Amino acid sequence: MVRIGKVEIKSPLALAPMAGVTDLAFRTVCRELGAGYTCTEMVSAKALCYQDKKTRQLLKLGEGEHPAAVQIFGSDPVCMAEGAALAAEYSGADVLDINMGCPVGKIVSGGDGSALMKDPEKAARIVEAVMRAVSLPVTVKTRRGWDKGSVNVVEFARTLEQAGASAVCVHARTRSQMYSGSADWDSIAEVKKALSIPVVANGDVFSPEDAPRILKRTGADMVMIGRGSFGNPWIFQQAEAALAGLPIPALPPLARRCDTAVRQIELAVRDKGEKIAILEARRHFAWYLKGVPYAGYYKTEIMKMTGMEELYRIAEGIRRELR
């Protein structure tokens, strides 16, 4: 069990917050299959301050989705404090997470996300301001550094802990790496040695066996799985077995995986409406077919679907013709 502030998390397996991916529907499926801790997609503090309704929708947690975090991003301490208070109020989350790791150009160009690693003092002021605004534990997700010439995650994490952060999650790549190359798990181990608060390890967890491997290598308290869960929420169930030293269960047959994909999309339709959910579902459904032989035709069909009738027709074809 891991304790973040006063919040107890029974499982060391967390689902990473990912924009456009970890919506309520996908988080629901992942939790059912073993994710013990989930987090919303990152939400703009500025958009919350402007009372943007679409942004508020991203904060909705599922029934019984606890413990869970809500994640905000931004770089103005005053706005971040206000946004954090609104995010906590709207979501009912247990933890408030600050994104200081997103590498995407449009985020860092505004001084947000991983750009804050270049200004540790400002990062600390943001943590302090957010802590004053909410009664929840405040955590930070960050990276190894801006680039290989400025790997400062140990010093940066120490600064965050001194500012009052209750836990730190480290994606073990630099911003300049984006999602390429290899994650440097040893940098997470260095952070763990330097801090007294919980450390969450993230980066290159693509197989169930990677979960015990990264925890052993880094000494981290939890492992956060991101891209390894795309189209494969069973990775949590499998990683749970790997951590317990039990035989790793095989993936369900394709027909059952297809049923899960359809259910995920049905949940999204219920939450967002058919038009938006189906557009977003195109890549989600295609991910479920990754590595499936002869699935090219159906992937093409998926990318053209516009409604639930097409979804059901495609799903039936997959169940009938593919294995």
CA dist., res. 259 & res. 262, Å (int): 5
Catalytic annotation, pick one of 79, 102, 169, 258: 102
Say if residue 18 carries a ligand binding annotation. yes
* End-to-end Cα spacing for the chain: 39
Say if residue 308 carries a ligand binding annotation. no
CA-based nearest residue to 88, from 171, 5, 170: 5
Say if residue 122 carries a ligand binding annotation. no
In order of 59, 123, 127, 213, the CA distances from 223 in angstroms are: 23, 23, 23, 10
DSSP state for residue 40 in the 8-state scheme? P
CA-based nearest residue to 231, from 281, 284, 298, 305: 284
In terms of residues, how long is the chain?
323
**Pairing verdict, β 7-9 and 2-4:** antiparallel
Say if residue 226 carries a ligand binding annotation. yes
Say if residue 17 carries a ligand binding annotation. yes
* Chain centre to alpha carbon of residue 31: 12
Q: Which helix (H) or strand (E) holds 81?
A: helix 77-91
Say if residue 171 carries a ligand binding annotation. yes
CA-based nearest residue to 144, from 208, 195, 100: 100
Residue 113: half-sphere exposure toward Cβ, Cα within 13 Å: 21
Q: Give strand pairing partners of 100.
A: 142
The verdict on whether 79 is a catalytic residue reads no
Contact call for residues 128 and 120 (beta carbons, < 8 A): no
Which parts are annotated binding residues for FMN?
17-19, 71, 141, 171, 226-227
**So which residues are the catalytic ones?**
102
Q: Which residues are annotated as a binding site?
A: 17-19, 71, 141, 171, 226-227
